[in-house]
Structure 1
Amino acid sequence: MSKLKVLVGKRLRQMRKERGLTQAALAERADMIDTYLAGVERGERNIALETLEKIMTALNAEPIDAFRFGELEAGKGLEGKRDVIRLLGAFLEERSMEEIELVRKMAKDIMATIDAEKRKMK
C-alpha cells in the first residue's frame, strides 16, 4: 500500500469519527457504498479526486483537510510507531535535502541526549 493512501485513509477516518458519523452514514452522504469507503479508510483504495471531493463535501470540510496529517493521533505499539514514521516521512518529503539533513542531525543529537540520560538513571 502506498504511504499516501494509508495516511489519507487514516485522516478521513479521523475526520468522520470527529463528526460522530458511521461509515454507513458518511457513505450515504457521499453517495457511495460503505464497503468502498471502508477500503478508502484502510488505505486499500486508490480514489479519484472526484471521490475525495464527494467525501470532503459530505464531511463539510475542505479537500486540503484530507492532507493535514499533523492532525493524526499516533496509535500504540508497533503500528503506532509505523504511523509516526510514515508521518515524519510525509513531512520530510517536501523539504530540501539540506533541511532533511539538519533534521537528521538534530534527531541524532536528541537521541544521544536521551540515551545519556537513561544511562545516568541506571
Structure 2
Amino acid sequence: MLLKMIGERIKQLRKKQGMTQEELAEKAGINASYIGTVERGERNISIETLEKIIEGLGVSSAAMFQFHETESLDTASEKAEVLESISSLLYSRTLSESKLLFRVLKDIVDTMDHREN
C-alpha cells in the first residue's frame, strides 16, 4: 500500500511541474523506465533512490509524504509553511502540553468535520 502511495505521489508531483518521466529520471540520475515502475508501485524503492527522486522533483521530504495533497503546488507549499510554523510552536512544549494541545486541536477538527456533515 505504501509503495503504491509513494508512486502515485511521485507521479502527482512530477505532473504538477509539467515534467516527463524522462526529465525526472535525468534530474534524479536514474533510468527513465525505473521511474515508471516506481510510479505504478511495481518496484520496491530504496531510501537512497527516493532521496534522488525528491531532489529531482525539487520538493522537500515533507512534501513528498503529503499524500492527501490535491491542491496546487503553490497552495501545498503555503500549507506546508503553515504546518511547519505550527510544528515549531509546539516543539518547545513539554510532552503533557503537547498532548493537551493535540486533544484541543482534535476536538476542533472533529467539530469542523461534524458541522460539514
**TM-score bin, normalised by smaller chain:** 0.5 to 0.7
Partner of residue 76, structure 2 = none
Equivalence for 1:32: 30
Task: Give 2:78's aligned residue.
Answer: none
Distance 1:72 1:42, change over 3 A: farther
Deviation for aligned residue 1:22: 0.2
Q: Aligned letter for 2:15?
A: K
Q: Which amino acid aligns with 1:57?
A: E
Q: What is the RMSD computed on CA atoms of the aligned residues?
A: 2.0
List 4+ stretches of structure 1 deviating above 3 A: none
TM-score of the pair, normalised by structure 1: 0.56
Q: How many residues align?
A: 76
Structure 2 unmatched ranges of 5 or more: 72-105
Identity of aligned residues (%): 44
Using the size of structure 2 for normalisation, the TM-score is 0.58
Which residue of structure 2 lines up, in the alignment, with residue 60 of structure 1?
Answer: 58
Q: Deviations over 1:38-76 (max 9, x none)?
A: 001001111111111100101111122221111148xxx
The whole-number CA distance in structure 2 between the counterparts of 1:67 and 1:45 is 18
Q: Which one-letter code corresponds to 2:5 in the other structure?
A: L
For 1:45-56, what aligned pairs fall within 5 Å after superposition?
45-56=43-54
Q: Which residue of 1 aligns with 2:5?
A: 7
Unpaired stretches in structure 1, ≥5 consecutive residues: 74-98, 111-122
The 5-angstrom pairing of residues 1-122 of structure 1 reads 3-72=1-70
1:51/1:35 CA distance change after superposition, 3 Å: same
**Does the 8 A contact of 1:10 with 1:41 survive in 2?**
yes
